[in-house]
């Protein structure tokens, strides 16, 4: 297409169409910057990872992108991190139910209050197979099923994504075997331990990521990563 021959109105229409297409497949358009790419690559050798940075610097975006990649099995050419060879069962979590809805769920699925826009998050629309709503909080999802495989007509199975919050307490974190847990925001040590335990018998054994801006100082969870010897 010769863009130089188009009017301003036509150029605006093309820009709108392109932005809409990108929004509908954010996963394909995700291009991590160096620190995000380093974080992803570390998953090939490390079962537990922490990405700390300031606000609005792409921590949660990196977490959502990685989870969507594992849930769909659509590993990009630049990927050097951990890979799963079959559909996965994973959790994404936040401090409160509302926080889980407004951050991990929004980034993975799309705007919580606009069901017609679900599939504009990191999980592509053609990969979303279904969902169940949670009780008690508007527009909060309990779980999502995601088609795993190459996309299109060739699919190898279905992944499951569940949403959790720390405020529910450790008891609500007991349950099924998982392949991975994403903690978006810092959590209490007992929640982290319980979540990690859920992955002991997953496809890769223990597998967890945490993304947050450090606001609690040198907490027990931060110490696990920055001062591991102190936890022995």
pLDDT score of 57: 79
pLDDT score of 230: 53
Mean pLDDT is lowest, of 1-10, 35-44, 151-160, 176-185, for: 1-10
Give the mean model confidence (pLDDT) for residues 69-80.
96
Q: How confident is the model at residue 18 (pLDDT cuts 50, 70, 90)?
A: very low
pLDDT score of 56: 73
- The 8 Å CB, 24+ separation contacts for 56-62 are 58/32, 58/33, 59/211, 59/212, 59/213, 60/103, 60/104, 60/107, 60/184, 60/211, 61/30, 61/36, 61/107, 61/122, 62/32, 62/36, 62/211
pLDDT score of 71: 98
Give the mean model confidence (pLDDT) for residues 61-85.
97
Q: Is the pLDDT of residue 48 over 50?
A: yes
Q: Which residues are catalytic?
A: 185
Domain boundaries, the chain: 3-231
pLDDT score of 201: 95
Domain 3-231, CATH: 3.40.50
- Across-strand partners of 158? 147
Classified as helix, coil or strand, 141 is strand
More confident residue, 200 or 57: 200
Q: How confident is the model at residue 55 (pLDDT cuts 50, 70, 90)?
A: confident
What is the Cα–Cα distance from 104 to 121, expressed in whole angstroms?
10
Q: How confident is the model at residue 17 (pLDDT cuts 50, 70, 90)?
A: very low
What is the Cα–Cα distance from 89 to 130, expressed in whole angstroms?
14
pLDDT score of 128: 94
Mean pLDDT of the chain: 88
Contact 39, 46 (CB under 8 A): no
Q: Is the pLDDT of residue 154 over 90?
A: no
Give the mean model confidence (pLDDT) for residues 205-228.
83
Instruction: Give me 66's structure tokens.
Output: 């990685």
Give the mean model confidence (pLDDT) for residues 178-191.
95
């Amino acid at each position: 297409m010769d863009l130089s021959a188009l009017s301003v109105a036509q150029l605006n229409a093309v820009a709108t169409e392109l932005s809409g297409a990108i929004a509908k497949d954010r996963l394909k358009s995700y291009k991590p910057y160096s620190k995000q790419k380093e974080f992803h690559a570390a998953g090939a050798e490390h079962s537990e990872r922490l990405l700390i940075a300031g606000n609005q610097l792409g921590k949660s975006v990196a977490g959502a992108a990685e989870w969507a990649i594992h849930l769909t099995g659509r590993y990009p050419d630049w990927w050097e991190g951990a890979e799963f060879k079959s559909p996965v069962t994973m959790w994404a979590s936040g401090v409160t139910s509302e926080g889980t809805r407004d951050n991990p769920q929004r980034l993975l699925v799309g705007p919580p209050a606009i069901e017609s826009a679900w599939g504009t998050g990191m999980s592509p629309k053609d990969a979303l197979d279904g969902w169940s709503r949670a009780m008690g909080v508007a527009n909060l999802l309990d779980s999502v099923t995601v088609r795993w495989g190459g996309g299109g007509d060739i699919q190898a199975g279905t992944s499951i994504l569940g949403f959790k919050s720390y405020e529910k307490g450790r008891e609500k974190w007991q349950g099924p075997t998982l392949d991975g847990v994403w903690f978006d925001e810092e959590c209490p040590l007992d929640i982290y331990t319980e979540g990690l335990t859920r992955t002991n018998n997953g496809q890769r054994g223990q597998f967890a990521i945490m993304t947050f801006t450090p606001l609690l100082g040198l907490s027990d969870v931060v110490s696990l990563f920055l001062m591991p010897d102190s936890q022995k």
